[in-house]
Amino acid sequence: MTPTPYDFFVFYLEAVHLAGKARTVTIDRVTVEQVFNPRINANVPSIVVHFKDARRTLKLNKTQAEALMELTGKEEFQAWTGTAVTLTPTETKNHKLTITISKP
C-alpha cells in the first residue's frame, strides 16, 4: 500500500491500514494514554495496545476491549501482553470501517 500524506499524521492503527487483509499480531504491551476526543474537545484516558514489530498502535474502543477480555479471560489489560490476535478490517452496521479482534 502506498503511503498518503494522511498516513504521516495518523498515529493509531485504523482499518484502512490493514488494506483489506486480516493480520495476526502479538501484543507487546498495553498502556493507558491521554487521547484527544473531538466530540468533547478534551483529552480522555484510552487503552492503547502496542504490537510486536508494528509501527502503529491500536486505540481500543469498548467492543475491542471486550473482545480482548473474552479472548484472554482476563479483565486486567496488563495481563494481555504476549497474546496473539487477528486484526480484521470490517464494516459496522452504520457502514463505518473498524477493526475486529479475534483468535488467530
User: Could you write out the DSSP letters of every residue in the chain?
Assistant: ----GGGGT--B--GGGGTT--EEEEEEEEEEEEEEETTTTEEEEEEEEEETT-S-BEE--HHHHHHHHHHHT-S-GGGGTT-EEEEEEEE-TTS-EEEEEE--
pLDDT tens, residue by residue, 18-41: 999 999 999 999 999 998 888 899
Is 30 within 8 Å of 48 (Cβ atoms)? yes
Q: Which of 25, 30, 17 is closest to 69 using CA atoms?
A: 30
Please tell me the predicted confidence (pLDDT) of residue 70. 96
Q: Is the pLDDT of residue 6 over 80?
A: no
Place of cell 498502556: 31
Ordered by start, the domain boundaries in the chain are 11-102
How far is Cα of residue 68 from the mean position of the Cα atoms in its chain?
Answer: 10
Instruction: Tell me the whole-structure pTM to 2 decimals.
Output: 0.85
CA distance linking residue 25 with residue 43, whole number of Å: 28
pLDDT tens, residue by residue, 38-87: 889 999 999 999 999 998 999 999 999 999 999 999 999 999 999 999 99
